[in-house]
Amino acid sequence: MARRAAAGKMPIFMPPLIKRDGFTLSEMLVVLAILALMTSVAIWTLRPGTDGARVAAEGLAARADAARNLAIVDGGAVALTINAQGYFFERARENGWQRVDERRLRAHHWASGITVDGPPVQTARLVFDRFGLATPATLVALRQSGGGSTRVRINADGRVQVE
């Protein structure tokens, strides 16, 4: 009976002792998130500079390929005109050549520091026919001031390559 009386006075639940020696899970997740953010910022700022000539060449190649596809789909000629300031596209219509006003094929100016490499640039004009063939085959060399150069080759069969 003495046991029962003692058992009645003793609490049934004993909370565990709380130790403050470590970190909680939420504190650890916050620290990891901050570290990840700082690492991504450091990688972003320390990455090497982009090659402007390469970026310009890839943009020209992508748009030239889109112009070739437009010529095939529409069944009509599409012209690419390249000069010292940039390039633009025209579409053959019954009343002559008209500038293409689609977003992906609007006139594009070279970025600052990008020049067409080689002899003084005249206007180069290339035409994709309804089969996607290019006349004439063209090689455009782009140079970035103080840096690299890249070439865009458009073959007679219409293939566009960045070299």
Q: Which residues are registered as beta bridge partners of 149?
A: 143
65 and 104 assigned to the same domain: yes
41 and 119 assigned to the same domain: no
pLDDT of residue 163: 84
Structure-token pair, residue 50 = 């982009």
Helices and strands in the chain: count of H runs, count of E runs:
3, 10
Q: What is the mean pLDDT of residues 132-158?
A: 85
Q: Is 122 left (phi over 0), alpha (psi -120 to 50) or beta?
A: beta
* Rounded distance between C-alpha atoms, residue 150 and residue 140, angstroms: 8
* Rounded distance between C-alpha atoms, residue 145 and residue 101, angstroms: 30
pLDDT of 5 higher than 60:
no
Q: What is the mean pLDDT of residues 99-116?
A: 84
Is position 4 within any domain?
A: no
Q: What is the pTM of this model?
A: 0.66
92 and 137 assigned to the same domain: yes
Instruction: Give the pLDDT confidence of 42-96 residue by residue, as tens digits.
Output: 777 665 555 778 888 888 888 889 888 888 888 889 999 888 888 899 998 888 8
Q: What is the mean pLDDT of residues 103-131?
A: 80
Q: Which domain holds residue 36?
A: 12-46
**CATH code for the domain of 107:** 3.55.40.10
Reported as type and span, the H/E element at residue 33 is helix 25-46
SS3 153: strand
110 and 42 assigned to the same domain: no
